[in-house]
Amino acid sequence: MGCKVLAYGHAGKTFSDQPLLTNLGCILQIATEAAGVLLSWFVNDIEIEDEEDPIRRNFIAIVNHDPFHTQRISVRLDPAAHAQFILTMSDEDSTAVTAMQSQKKVIGGEIGPANPAVVTKILGPGDMEVVYWDVEIDYDIP
């Protein structure tokens, strides 16, 4: 798919001998209830209609690696990144998701300067949330 992985590791609490992340890219802070939440930061160059050059889009996948238990996570995003969560099937019915895909648009709740608060998400066993941002900010890559 043309993506490049920049960093990955477990968040909040970790399985033994795994790298522990407390922040990553636009995620300034993440807390989990239990072990098994994996963060993966990857980038992809995206062609945007009406734009001459492709933009570099950053993504962070937040995955519950526990196949049996639900995880509650708390995420604080950098307001400067204007990051958004991508909607998942649990957020919208399949008709709306199909319509979004056919329009090649990604929508979600903006977590930029208008709402810098901590966001709490519930991840079912094996579920994933994805955050993306386009603003060019020089975050450290662990």
Q: What is the pLDDT of residues 40-78, one digit of tens each?
A: 999 998 887 887 888 889 999 999 988 899 989 989 999
Q: Which of 41-50, 96-105, 131-140 has the lowest mean pLDDT?
A: 96-105
CB 72 within 8 A of CB 33: yes
Count other Cβ atoms within 10 Å, centred on residue 60. 24
Q: What is the mean pLDDT of residues 10-39?
A: 84
Largest CA distance in the chain: 48
pTM for the whole thing?
0.76
Q: How far is CA 112 from CA 54, 57, 61, 66, 121, in A?
A: 22, 16, 18, 30, 17
Q: What is the mean pLDDT of residues 18-47?
A: 88
Q: Which percentage of the chain shows pLDDT scores above 70?
A: 76
Q: What is the mean pLDDT of residues 118-124?
A: 88
Q: Which of 28-42, 51-65, 74-88, 105-119 has the lowest mean pLDDT?
A: 105-119
d(CA 112, CA 83): 6
Q: Which of 39-48, 100-109, 128-137 has the lowest mean pLDDT?
A: 100-109
